[in-house]
């Protein structure tokens, strides 16, 4: 028998704040976290804006010795995991450590560390490469460091599936618990790609917004004047538990996770197929896994990147899956405020969806001022909205045609 899985903790680190409450309240206020890039001199770049994490002092969370061993994406994962575990009131002990796992995705990994160490090599030679270079930069060390910090000895893994990584990590963790291989999973995504090569690479693809004079208005999903995504950074980590485990320790339950789907486009290295077939398949697979009819879904936290083709194609896919019900759905893209966190996006947005269910309020899509005629659904423009919400879907689509989707349910059932 499949075990039911619930969500008991959320840790969010974003351009809106270093703790979950700051991010959540910023979203409800329709606040943009986008501004001029300060991490490096971006004057020569076509895109000079980003959604940066602000005012984070590593030494507030780790000692000097450990700080040298970590890229920023690892630090973001640690901060978000600490918040998530604390919010879940979860204690890791010798008795339960083998039944608690960590699964954190990252699309890019330690880009900043790679750039710094490559510069050291070019300018000073191989002897100046740090012995911590590899463990500071490889993608699974977010999972590794969190596991070491907490003392968990259960399942330990990581995803590196571009912008689907965080969602895949949570979906895979759901299945790990569902089949009985763990009782608790600490899962999500972390990213820190606001670096010269990170921004330069996406800019060279013409994927980034160049609305440099109005950074707070640059991320505008589903708007006719959207011109690309705004790169963001941070982490989103959730605590998933078997329902009986959560009940046994009298944990607060924020939501239940009931469905997970995966699909591949097999189409293009960066672009989705025009017919949205990969997105259609992953959403249908998620609904089928949950045993939920499309008409039961009330809200979708869209991938909604603010790139011209992606928003249009995602809208087309939603219409194909939900038919007439698509026009009754509330849909929003919180990337309009947080920027696009790449591999961390799915983790951040899963946490947001849990709060949507728990608080029964939907964050808006900001900057939706001139609707695209091809994007004609209800994107909750401008202002947060109270609503009766039972089922929430969150989708993530990544380069290489990798797609992930999860479905959350209000708990207890109303």
Residue whose tokens read 């249009």? 312
* CA 84 vs CA 237, 238, 404, 413: distances in Å: 6, 6, 22, 23
Ordered by where they begin, the domains of the chain are 5-248 (3.40.47.10), 259-409 (3.40.47.10)
Q: What are the residues facing 35 on neighbouring strands?
A: 50
Is residue 98 within 8 Å of residue 158, measured between CB atoms? no
Question: Which residue in the list 167, 168, 245, 340 is annotated as catalytic?
Answer: 340
Q: Please list, in sequence order, all residues whose beta carbon lies within 8 angstroms of the beta carbon of residue 275, skipping any fewer than 6 positions away.
A: 313, 316
Q: Where are the alpha helices (DSSP H) in 72-139?
A: 72-87, 111-124, 133-137
Global model pTM greater than 0.85: yes
Total residue length of the chain:
414
User: What does each of the 414 residues of the chain score in pLDDT, given as a tens digit?
Assistant: 899 999 999 999 999 999 999 999 999 999 999 999 999 999 999 999 999 999 999 999 999 999 989 999 999 999 999 999 999 999 999 999 999 999 999 999 999 999 999 999 999 999 999 999 999 999 999 999 999 999 999 999 999 999 999 999 999 999 999 999 999 999 999 999 999 999 999 999 999 999 999 999 999 999 999 999 999 999 999 999 999 999 999 999 999 999 999 999 999 999 999 999 999 999 999 999 999 999 999 999 999 999 999 999 999 999 999 999 999 999 999 999 999 999 999 999 999 999 999 999 999 999 999 999 999 999 999 999 999 999 999 999 999 999 999 999 999 975
Which bin fits 113, alpha (ψ -120 to 50), beta or left (φ > 0)? alpha
Output the pLDDT for position 413: 74
Distance CA 96, CA 90 (A): 11
Residue 303 annotated among the catalytic residues of the structure: yes
Q: Please list, in sequence order, all residues whose beta carbon lies within 8 angstroms of the beta carbon of residue 322, skipping any fewer than 6 positions away.
A: 294, 295, 297, 329
Question: Which residue in the list 160, 163, 167, 353 is annotated as catalytic?
Answer: 163
Residue 353 annotated among the catalytic residues of the structure: no
Question: Which residue in the list 160, 167, 303, 405 is annotated as catalytic?
Answer: 303
Peptide bond just before 71 cis, omega within 30 deg: no
């Amino acid at each position: 028998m499949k075990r039911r899985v619930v969500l008991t903790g959320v840790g969010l680190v974003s351009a809106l704040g270093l703790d979950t409450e700051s991010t959540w309240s910023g979203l409800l206020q329709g606040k943009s976290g986008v501004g001029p890039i300060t991490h490096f001199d971006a004057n020569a770049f076509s895109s000079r804006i980003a959604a940066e994490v602000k005012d984070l002092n590593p030494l507030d969370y780790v000692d000097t010795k450990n700080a040298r061993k970590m890229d920023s994406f690892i630090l973001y994962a640690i901060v978000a995991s600490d918040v998530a575990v604390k919010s879940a009131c979860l204690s890791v002990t010798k008795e339960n450590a083998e039944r608690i796992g960590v699964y954190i995705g990252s699309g890019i990994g330690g880009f900043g560390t790679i750039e710094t160490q490559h510069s050291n090599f070019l300018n000073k030679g191989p002897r100046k490469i740090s012995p911590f270079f590899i463990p500071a930069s490889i993608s699974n060390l977010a999972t590794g460091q969190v596991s070491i910090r907490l003392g968990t000895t259960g399942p330990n893994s990581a995803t590196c599936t571009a912008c689907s990584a965080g969602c895949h990590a949570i979906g895979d963790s759901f299945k790990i618990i569902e089949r009985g291989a763990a009782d608790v999973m600490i899962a999500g995504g972390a990213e820190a790609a606001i670096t010269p090569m990170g921004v330069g690479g996406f800019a060279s693809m013409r994927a980034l917004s160049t609305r440099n004079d109005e950074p707070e208005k640059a991320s505008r999903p589903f708007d006719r004047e959207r011109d690309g995504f705004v790169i963001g950074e941070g982490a989103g980590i959730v605590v998933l538990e078997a329902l009986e485990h959560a009940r046994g320790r009298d944990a607060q339950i924020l939501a239940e996770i009931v469905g997970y789907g995966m699909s591949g486009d097999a189409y293009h290295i960066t672009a989705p197929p025009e017919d949205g077939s990969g997105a259609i398949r992953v959403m249908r697979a998620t609904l089928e896994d949950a045993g939920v009819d499309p008409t039961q879904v009330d809200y979708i936290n869209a991938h909604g990147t603010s790139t011209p083709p992606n928003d249009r194609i995602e809208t087309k896919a939603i219409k194909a899956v939900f038919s007439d019900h698509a026009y009754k759905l509330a849909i929003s893209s919180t990337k309009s405020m947080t920027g696009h966190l790449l591999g961390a996006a799915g983790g951040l947005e899963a946490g947001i969806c849990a709060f949507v269910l728990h608080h029964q309020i939907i964050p808006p899509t900001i900057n939706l001022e001139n609707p695209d005629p091809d994007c004609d659904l209800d994107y909750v423009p401008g202002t947060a909205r109270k609503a009766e919400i039972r089922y929430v879907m969150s989708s993530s689509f990544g380069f290489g045609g990798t797609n992930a989707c999860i479905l959350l349910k209000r708990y207890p059932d109303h």
